[in-house]
Homo-oligomer: A and B are copies of this chain.
Amino acid sequence: MGFTFQINHEVDFTHDSGMLSEADQSRPKLISQTVHANYVVTIGRAKKEGKHATPTQIQDISALAASSYGRSQSVILDFGQHYVGYFSVNISAVGSPMDAPLYLHIRFAEVADELAQKPEDYNGWLSRSWIQEEYVHLDELPATLSMPRRYSFRYVELTVIDSSPKWQAQFENPTVRAVSSADDARLPKLATADTELKQIYSVSVRTLHECMQTVFEDGPKRDRRLWLGDLHLAALADYATYNQTDLVRRCLFLFAGLAATDGRIPANIFTGKEPEADDTFLFDYSMFFVSTLSDYYKHTRDHETLDRLLPAAQTQIDLALQYVDEQGQLNLPDNWPVFIDWSDKFDKSSCAQLILIYTLKQFIGLLQECKQSTESYRNYVDILSQYVLVSRRDSKTGLITSGSKSEVNVATQAWTVLAGVLPRIDAAKLMRQTINQLFPVRGIATPYMYHFIVQALFEAGLRDEAIAEMKRYWGKMVELGADTFWEAFDPDDWFYSPYGNSIISSYCHVWSCTPAYLIHKYC
């Protein structure tokens, strides 16, 4: 995920070598697999009637070496599935001796539609350096072109910018050395017989697989780093599938080792040669450190890790509680904004309040595991919940409101259920009212927020409605040909991107893989 840019140069970060060394010990080995391209395809060049461009003419890969390519000619390879890895291809010159370098443009795309858009038209606010394209000169052929950078793709477009009138380029054996730390041998068998759910599950697992590198990367195309909100959900999906809990442990230690000197855990970490905290803070993400630790402990019973990380969790809670007033209302400062979802079209203050309750309860559970006193925190749960139920409940509909204009939105209702401020029977009522009044969901375009909505439906006991919503949202992506689930998807606007241009969107995003967890847990 991302957010409106925060620039906080003045913030200093700790580098707790003990924590970082624990993270290092849990660093996974990457598993490599060599995969050959399957097809040569043609992709339409323009958006038509608001629809994604998809492969049209499809030929066997043998068509590749049967052709040669001169100035401005191109070919698109289809690897048949999404891969994260290192591309190589053999290139030779056909015709007279090679009297000029070969100048190639290479594009990598997770979905066919990326190739229908022109990189030079990009005008979004994220760096255009994320567009997966390279320009390469080869001075001598034959040669094997082995790209040193890692890409995330199913399709590769090779365009000969120029050879010379005397010879053309010929391509053979396009290959990806795919990498992931996920071990498919560990996958359990899925019990459900529902074909649609099976498909959704399978695409979820592939999404998780691709994002499992040396951390849970948010997206292997972009941003290729560890976000806490994403980790929270990725870990749940991992427990339900690969169950490689060491990777979660590693990520927890990375966050704890790179907290700001005021104790706040940053929203994300760059995990290059040396892990480094981003100077970005999101309230809900900091809180989800507690959730991730709680989920991890519940799943693994790894008490040693809990002992090591409990203080960091406590710090997040204590820092947050500073901003709770006497009425039990959370009032966040500007330097700790809440994310909730990419959309800025709804008020998020009640969600922040509810997430604090949600994580506070998880924290109390952890304190109990460590035989520590919980009383003062319990009081906070009470006054925070009381505020919601007394001051934020619409007397007519029973829905929870948010902000000074008492706005009613889907996200708030979902978090009300997840925070457990209502008895289950009231939660069911709330979600039924939500469905009546606020469905179909509008203005939310991330699988991340959809996850919490669907989970709230399940938790409220509305299993059929939850499954229907899951099929409506993730199922639509499958119907549109998704090999992995997309960072952002608006069923009403297929080209929606939080970044002003969908060429930069990540089409394999770990926060989108939670149906694997939801189906495993609730179906």
Contacts and interface: CB of A to CB of B under 8 A. Distances in A.
A161 B129 contact: yes
Contacts of A110: none
A220 to B, nearest CB: 13
A97 B273 contact: no
A273 B139 contact: no
Interface stretch (A49-57, A162-170, A512-520): A162-170
A451 B154 CA distance: 57
Interface stretch (A174-182, A274-282, A294-302, A304-312): A274-282
Contact of A129 (B8, B101, B127, B140): B101
A272 interface: yes
Interface in A85-128: 95-103, 125-128
Interface stretch (A17-25, A130-138, A403-411): A130-138
Given A137-B134, A137-B149, A97 B7 contact: no
Given A99-B278, A272-B139, A162 B128 contact: yes
Interface size class of A (residues with CB under 8 A): 35 or more
Given A129-B163, A165-B5, A165-B125, A279 B97 contact: yes
Interface in A490-508: none
A9 interface: yes
A412 to B, nearest CB: 30
A163 B128 CA distance: 8
Given A5-B165, A129-B161, A164-B126, A277 B97 contact: yes
A129 B103 contact: yes
A82 B164 CA distance: 27
A270 interface: yes
Contacts of A277: 97
Given A140-B273, A278-B96, A279-B96, A162 B103 contact: no
Given A97-B270, A99-B225, 20 more contacts: A5-B165, A5-B166, A8-B96, A71-B127, A96-B279, A97-B278, A97-B279, A99-B127, A99-B223, A100-B126, A100-B127, A101-B130, A126-B164, A127-B162, A128-B161, A128-B162, A129-B137, A137-B149, A139-B272, A140-B272
Which A-B residue pairs are the 7 nearest by beta carbons? A100-B127, A103-B129, A135-B135, A101-B129, A127-B164, A127-B162, A128-B162
